[in-house]
């Protein structure tokens, strides 16, 4: 059974962004196999942390599903919330049958290289203005960035493998591919989250290095960022300049209907709606109807009412599901973050790599959510729910660290 779960985990990373809806393949395999737990001879021994993560997955499903029901969305409203519920048996399966760690890191490296290759093809060969893979551009760019950062976390695992040089190159190529795809997508919101993600990696590994090595890493990051900005073909300059112009125009009152200006209006409108119904919010349908009425009264630009979400996860949740929804969302982020962050002091590099990867997931989503409602998209829901299950399920097998010269 561990071979089966290993393949599922591998596919979850390898196919994350390289094919249409391929991020669902590994997840589906885990869910379909989970009924085998019913015939397992011994019950699972769950830790407090296991129970806490299972609880927040169930809590978020309950709150979002109840909101959808009260909003009159019917069965369609359960589509995205159900992913968090389905992640529960997937996590239990991985706790019962954890695969070798190599399945995870190998899949992530291939996924990073694949999304990087796809972005190069779309941007530089096909001539697209922005690489978008097979999903929404912002989702593609940000998830690709997450892939690259997870590969960087995997360098700690690669370092203690018997063929560590080959693994370091492999994980490094995955990191470059994911980061390059993010740049070619022009998804600026992800770039805002990058410093937070780098801080997680520094806390896990960077601070253990000698002072000169730390300085060298900082310089390397700054030089890489400067090169990425300086190459016109990557489109970073244009995206940064456009954002700066948008903010200037909004503050001066010259033009409020730019990409950034519309976001500011969405946040203002959602904040006003939250104040009117702070406890349970307006619901999906109620939110759209309220925006349409605000547009008719001239309080917001008509284009703002065309968007189904506020382009900010926390603000969008507050407007649609109120304080109850915000609490569930914060629990979904902060409980796993706290569980993984406890072990960033671990002496075992393999365990520390998993803990860094696990902490990166909620930190990345917190950052991405500043400019995008990530859970409004299937890719955002599937990646968070099932990667959380995978990373925690695999982390559990490192509770008793293996010798560093063993194959994992």
CA angle, corner 231, sides to 228 and 236, nearest 5?
60
pLDDT along the chain (408 residues), means of 10: 95 92 92 92 88 97 95 89 97 95 96 96 92 93 96 93 92 95 90 92 78 75 77 74 79 76 91 95 94 91 90 96 98 96 77 93 96 94 97 82 42
- The three-state secondary structure class of 398 is coil
Residue 165 near residue 120, CB atoms below 8 Å: no
Report which DSSP code applies to 35. G
CA distances to 1, 28, 194, 261, 326 from 189, rounded to whole Å, are: 40, 29, 9, 14, 21
Place of tokens 């001879």: 41
Q: Cite the DSSP H helix spans in 205-312.
A: 211-230, 236-252, 259-276, 283-296
Lookup: tokens for 337: 């973050």
Residue 109 near residue 154, CB atoms below 8 Å: yes
The whole-number pLDDT of residue 233 equals 67
Say how far apart CA 211 and CA 94 lie, in whole Å.
39
The whole-number pLDDT of residue 404 equals 39
- The three-state secondary structure class of 18 is coil
| Residue 354, Ramachandran bin (φ over 0: left; ψ between -120 and 50: alpha; else beta) | alpha
Say how far apart CA 72 and CA 51 lie, in whole Å.
31
**Short-list 88, 99, 97, 87, CA closest to 51:** 88
CA angle, corner 40, sides to 34 and 45, nearest 5?
90
The whole-number pLDDT of residue 405 equals 41
The whole-number pLDDT of residue 399 equals 61
pTM of the predicted model as reported, rounded to 2 decimal places: 0.92
**Short-list 79, 49, 136, 182, CA closest to 373:** 136
- The three-state secondary structure class of 119 is helix
Residue 266 near residue 304, CB atoms below 8 Å: yes
Residue 137 near residue 105, CB atoms below 8 Å: no
Lookup: tokens for 406: 């063993």
**Short-list 192, 207, 119, 158, CA closest to 353:** 158
CB atoms within 10 A of CB 370: 16
The whole-number pLDDT of residue 80 equals 93
């Amino acid at each position: 059974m561990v071979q089966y779960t290993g393949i599922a985990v591998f596919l979850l990373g390898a196919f994350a962004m390289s094919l249409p809806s391929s991020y669902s393949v590994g997840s589906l395999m885990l869910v379909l196999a989970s009924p085998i737990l019913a015939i397992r001879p011994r019950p699972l021994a769950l830790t407090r942390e296991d129970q806490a993560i299972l609880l927040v997955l169930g809590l978020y499903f309950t709150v979002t599903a109840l909101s959808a029901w009260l909003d009159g969305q019917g069965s369609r409203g359960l589509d995205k919330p159900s992913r968090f519920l389905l992640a529960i048996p997937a996590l239990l399966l991985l706790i019962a049958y954890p695969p070798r760690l190599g399945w995870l890191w190998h899949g992530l490296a291939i996924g990073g290289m694949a999304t990087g290759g796809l972005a190069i093809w779309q941007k530089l060969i096909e001539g697209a203005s922005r690489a978008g893979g097979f999903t929404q551009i912002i989702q593609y760019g940000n998830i690709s960035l997450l892939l690259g950062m997870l590969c960087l976390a995997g360098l700690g695992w690669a370092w203690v493998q018997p063929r560590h040089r080959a693994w370091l190159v492999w994980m490094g190529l995955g990191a470059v591919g994911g980061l390059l795809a993010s740049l070619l997508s022009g998804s600026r919101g992800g770039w805002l989250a990058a410093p937070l993600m780098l801080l997680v990696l520094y806390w896990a590994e960077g601070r253990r290095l000698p002072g000169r090595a730390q300085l060298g890493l900082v310089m390397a990051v700054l030089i890489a960022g400067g090169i990425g900005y300086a190459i016109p073909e990557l489109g970073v300059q244009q995206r940064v300049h456009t954002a700066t112009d948008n903010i200037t125009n909004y503050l001066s009152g010259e033009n409020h209907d730019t990409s950034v200006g519309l976001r500011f209006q969405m946040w203002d409108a959602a904040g006003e709606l939250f104040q009117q119904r702070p406890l349970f919010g307006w619901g999906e349908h109620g939110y759209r109807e309220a925006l349409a009425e605000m547009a008719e009264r001239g309080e917001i630009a008509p284009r703002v009412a065309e968007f189904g979400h506020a382009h900010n996860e926390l603000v969008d949740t507050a407007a649609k599901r109120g304080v109850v929804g915000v609490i569930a969302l914060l629990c979904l982020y902060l409980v796993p973050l706290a569980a993984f962050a406890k072990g960033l002091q671990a002496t075992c590099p393999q365990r520390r790599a998993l803990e860094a990867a696990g902490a990166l997931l909620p930190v990345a989503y917190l950052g991405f959510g500043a400019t995008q409602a990530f859970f409004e998209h299937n890719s955002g829901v599937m990646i968070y729910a099932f990667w959380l299950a995978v990373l925690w399920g695999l982390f559990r097998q490192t509770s008793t660290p293996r010798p560093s010269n063993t194959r994992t």
